[in-house]
Structure 1
């Protein structure tokens, strides 16, 4: 209490001394000025504020010094003083101090923004508006402060001040707005509050700094479609063209072109460009010497113009290709980058593709892939994609320039756009066999396996197509398996993005072209996902069923387990196995997994080891089967009539598996005991088909199908119930001699059990009795 009284007395004494002129508040005594901010005398406070302003203006050190002396708290409080003069003095002092980053941080902590915004009201003096907006220009550079200005409803007052008669107020206000509209919600609010007309009026300002800030703000605002519509309705395009047509405004042309580039996203603005001969003016900017920023912005505009077929034709007639090729050779990176983007846009015009090729643009773009600039490499890659799309000559030119190797390297880039364009370009090039082999030799599949792990949709779409194009080569599929690419493919089958899902199915269809890949894909769960997909109305697509069929065609063991039928075109090879009918929702295990299982009491797995082809189990051997194949080739194949061949092969199978068994004695045939003994002897649940000496329907039908496929006879394999299985064959009926062979054909079931060699007409009682119990 005593300290407070002493302080008040000191303030009163200082006030009196100042009033009667005995002392003056100078910048040499900032402590005194800060102390007098708490004076009860308005005149003293005003003089103290003036002294603080003068002191702060002399440098950043002084501003920080005032901060340390505690000037901010009383100055913020004085913003709400009843005296106009005091409010004016406080806000000017604050405005001068706010230039310092340290002061700005302190203002942020002290929650000064609402008090400063209150000074933007129409009742306040112009000088108050000037310094209040000056404070906000510095505060609005901070993300949190921008949000607070917006949440405190500061935008309407700032928009009103765009029409202030004072240029400083205009400049500060538009600068604050320019900072605010970097955020999406502020952009939308600015449009709804009707700020665009006031902004366009600032283009007429006598001060270039205000014009430039207005253009920068418009550039940001016009990223929104509704704002572009209002901009066009308010003759914004015409006002931009006035700026671009005025040589005196050359220092504003870059910002004006950047805004125009946004507006050209709309077809209506494109029409205005053509109607006003704006295209001619844009072409002139392309050749502006020593103005790379203007050239870059002009090229960006032309890229937007090139989005319509009509514009493409007009640009081609103006021989824009030659200009763009020249711009690819300038030193400025931004101009090169914009030129690459324009080449990419122009490449959709077929005639332009030919011109670019004749001008040697492909080698130039390929060289740009070696540059350090990430944006430049991304743009050059996009241009190469456009030029090679549907154009094998340009694709060959990229290859001859060594571009394929660089594109493979770029698949490891961090920039998703670069990766997506690189994969898409490689996809375009891989249609040619020689190029495809070279692409693969540089490790494309390993790189694509990594790209398939991306979360970027564009990367996934182009990488999947590239994988599908390259995977037509067996070596490529093997490399993808080793690199873990199949796991990534199966994961993408769960995608909720329809296009990604479709491309993933397409890639699986191609990758499943060989048995090792199909087996691995099934092991990873692709089969179950594709089955579910083909049943789903929402997830089924053009390639889902094709992928499923491809997977089953290359993995006949799984197909037989699931479908219970192998067609005559499904050729059994070494490594095929019959694991029985698959249970719903249960994955069919691989042969390797089944071999590794401990001995159990379940039905044996019957495996085919012909001694030819590839099996993953090198210890597997079936000498008896190999002997039977040799015997079939020697004794069955030479027979001239197909009927005789099938009958002889049926007898060979029957003899190998215990001979004919009368139907009424089938229950006495000891096949179950024989199989149990075989499993125990082999200490395995997997039994080679040739080792079975006592077999019934399902064992004999599998052996018959295997031997038929090995010697080139045609037959199917069908699973029935209760260990029944049979083979269907097709024979053509022969007409009498000297007459043309009839096209009529008949299907038969081959008897391998009761009267081996007998052919039973399908759908006859005898055939039905053979198929069922």
Structure 2
């Protein structure tokens, strides 16, 4: 027991000694930290005092011309609030701007003088027989084109531009080709540069570069050609004569979207209004490559430029079936629900141009459903295209007729007719589409009833009383003929005044036919043109009579109507 108490006493003493040592070390650390903080505060106050001890003249000089400070001299004191400028700082801004402008002016003048002195020697070096010398010269010229001042000097020197073109043509290594192509690309951003390239025979040389395996050379070449086609008079003809189209169309197989966007825009610029260019694009597999892009890419600018080319080609009788066979209808249709209005408009106009060659095309179910939906648009162009495409795709195609009928096409077309008013570009294809839907397919009777149920008969009969041109009248009479096949439509047709309007139309057609027949019997000589016009008018009158008689035949099944 006594031994245990002694042990406890020793432990307490040891603990107390250990605690005291810890407290001493803590106090020492705290004192050191406090001393360091005091030293830092004193240093800060000293610096602050030294900064504010500057005279007013020194502070102004430090703000406006900080480079004049002597080493070790304090700069201008910083504002407590960094978001606010002091009065001196605000006054210093114009001097800083002036200094920067002067520096730029000096550098600009130095660049121009350097380029002016270097141009004659560089022109000689670019024509040297040693490929290494030519390569070094091309690299130097490429560096000079990076600065605006030296670039302007080069543009004004046709000799050096011509030397660059020749060096690019006979380049033995890819680096020389890259540097020279880069030079022409830089120069092509200025009007004077475009003219210098054009006059130096740069277009044929650039077209040869389109066969280069180096991506950067290809990009420089196609971009420079694009700038020439956009802004240089005579460039389009020069590109065509140098077989530029034959080199550009195979580039559609590349995978870089931005490169393809420039290439397709070049194709559009060359093919617009030029039938020969359209045929060259066709001969080199252009339609297939363009359709592939529309099907597999989502870069909006590329899709837009490609749709522009397809729009131009879609009015060519030779390209039209090739685009359709390549799947152009389906590829264009998949972009009709996107957010880009300019792309949608191009796709719709292209589809409208192609649709008369796609009446037997399969796999258009999705496109037809989208077109029916777009009949509800308030945009006249969209409405014109949608009705025109539906009119063509439902012509002599039973499957398409059934599909459009089943997805509400009749109602949508009637609403389109009502909104068309006097817009014949909308009314005529809409009525033609209704005429197709109401005859010669399994759901024809369903469509005939749908016209009545959706209050379409009054709107259709109204078209006969308006001074429309013959295609609308012909389509309307044909639609009435089909509607009259449904017994339930007989009374509504009669009640809306179809019969007297058809009678008036028949009488007018008969009178026109008689009048032209009488004039043809006159003894005086008429020109071939007048004779042909007379024959066409007579034939048109005969068609009117035939169509009206057919409509009368169908309507007259009801005794009261007879």
Q: TM-score range by the shorter chain?
A: 0.5 to 0.7
Alignment of 1:612-631 (within 5 A): none
Q: Extract unaligned runs of 5+ from structure 1.
A: 364-383, 385-393, 431-773
Distance 1:89 1:325, change over 3 A: same
Equivalent residue number for residue 405 of structure 2? 274
Q: Is the 8 A contact 1:306 1:345 kept in 2?
A: no
Task: Give the alignment partner of residue 459 of structure 2, picking from 308, 323, 326.
Answer: 323
Gap change, CA 1:406 and 1:91, over 3 Å in 2: same
Residue 63 of structure 1 and its aligned partner are, at CA, apart by 6.0
Q: Which residue matches 1:159?
A: 291
Deviation at residue 427 of structure 1 after TM alignment: 8.6
Does the 8 Å contact 2:421/2:427 carry over to 1?
A: no
Q: 1:498-523 deviations in whole A, cap 9, x for unaligned?
A: xxxxxxxxxxxxxxxxxxxxxxxxxx
Q: Residue 97 in 1 paired to residue 225 in 2? A: no
Q: Aligned pair 1:340/2:477, yes or no? A: no
Deviation for aligned residue 1:174:
2.2
| Structure 2 residue aligned with 1:421 | 540
Q: In 2, Cα distance between the equivalents of 1:276 and 1:428? A: 29
- Partner residue of 2:190? 55
| Aligned counterparts of 2:544 and 2:363: Cα–Cα separation in 1 | 39
CA deviation after TM superposition for structure 1 residue 211, in Å: 1.3
Kindly state the Cα deviation for residue 33 of structure 1 after the two structures are TM-superposed: 4.5
Q: CA, structure 1 residues 280+423, in 2 after alignment: closer, same or farther (shift >3 Å)?
A: closer
Shift of 1:97: 2.3
CA contact (8 A) 1:34 1:48 kept: no
Would the alpha carbon gap of residues 207 and 428 (structure 1) be closer, same or farther in structure 2, given more than 3 Å must change? closer
SS of 2:334's partner is helix
For structure 2, the 5+ residue unaligned runs are 1-122, 485-489, 521-529, 550-562
Deviations 1:379-409 (A, max 9, x none): xxxxx5xxxxxxxxx44x655x777425766
> Do 1:243 and 1:253's aligned partners in 2 also have CA atoms closer than 8 Å?
yes
- Give yes or no for contact 2:509–2:545 (8 Å, CA) kept in 1: no
Q: 8 Å contact 2:246–2:284 — kept in the other structure? A: yes
1:200 aligns with 2:333: yes
Q: Distance in 2 between matches of 1:33 and 1:179?
A: 35
Three-state SS of the structure 2 residue aligned to 1:228 is coil
SS in 1 for 2:375: helix
Cα distance, 1:205 vs. partner? 2.6
Asked if structure 2 preserves the Cα contact closer than 8 Å seen for 1:175 and 1:213, the reply is yes
Paired residue for 1:36, among 159, 164, 173? 164
8 A Cα contact 1:53 1:93, kept in partner: yes
SS of aligned partner of 2:362: helix
Q: Report the Cα offset of residue 126 of structure 1.
A: 2.3
Distance apart, 1:315 and its partner CA:
3.7
Shift of 1:34: 5.6
Write 1 or 2 for the structure with the bigger share of helix: 2
Task: Give the C-alpha shift of residue 221 in structure 1.
Answer: 3.3
- Larger relative contact order (Cα-Cα within 8 Å, sequence gap ≥ 6): 2
Q: Secondary structure at 1:54's aligned position in 2?
A: coil
CA displacement at 1:106 relative to structure 2: 2.2
Structure 2 CA distance for aligned equivalents of residues 322 and 196 of structure 1: 35
Q: For 1:33-432, what aligned pairs fall within 5 Å after superposition?
A: 33=161, 35-39=163-167, 41-42=176-177, 44-55=179-190, 66-99=197-230, 102-123=234-255, 125-141=256-272, 142-162=274-294, 163-184=296-317, 186-224=319-357, 227-232=360-365, 235-245=366-376, 251-265=381-395, 266-288=397-419, 292=423, 293-308=425-440, 310=445, 311-312=447-448, 314-315=450-451, 320=456, 322-324=458-460, 326-327=462-463, 336-349=469-482, 351=490, 358-360=499-501, 363=504, 384=505, 394-395=506-507, 404-405=514-515, 412-414=531-533, 418-424=537-543
SS in structure 2 opposite 1:300?
helix
Distance 1:75 1:274, change over 3 A: same
Report matched runs for 1:571-582 at 5 Å: none
CA distance in 1, matches of 2:459, 2:469: 12
Report if aligned partners of 2:359, 2:393 keep a CA contact under 8 Å in 1: no
The offset of 1:229, in angstroms, is 2.3
- SS of the counterpart of 1:77? helix
Structure 1 position 55, deviation (Å):
2.5
Q: CA deviation at 1:168?
A: 1.8
Residues 578-637 of structure 1 deviation map (CA, whole Å, 9 limit, x = unaligned): xxxxxxxxxxxxxxxxxxxxxxxxxxxxxxxxxxxxxxxxxxxxxxxxxxxxxxxxxxxx
TM-score normalized by the length of structure 2: 0.58
Compute the TM-score of the two structures, normalised by the length of structure 1. Answer: 0.43
CA contact (8 A) 1:25 1:48 kept: no
Q: Which residue, out of 121, 143, 160, partners 1:19?
A: 143
Measure, in 2, the Cα distance between the counterparts of 1:173 and 1:91: 16
Partner of 1:673: none
**Any conservation in 1 of the 2:155–2:187 contact (CA below 8 Å)?**
no
Matches within 5 A, 1:325-724: 326-327=462-463, 336-349=469-482, 351=490, 358-360=499-501, 363=504, 384=505, 394-395=506-507, 404-405=514-515, 412-414=531-533, 418-424=537-543
Q: How many residues align?
A: 385
CA contact (8 A) 1:170 1:210 kept: yes
Post-superposition offset of 1:154:
2.5
- Verify the 8 A CA contact 2:438 2:479 in the aligned structure 1: yes
> Do the aligned partners of 1:178 and 1:216 also contact (CA within 8 Å) in 2?
yes
CA contact (8 A) 1:72 1:107 kept: yes
SS at 2:356's partner residue?
coil
Contact 2:204 2:239 (C-alpha < 8 Å) held by counterparts: no
CA RMSD in angstroms, aligned pairs only: 4.0
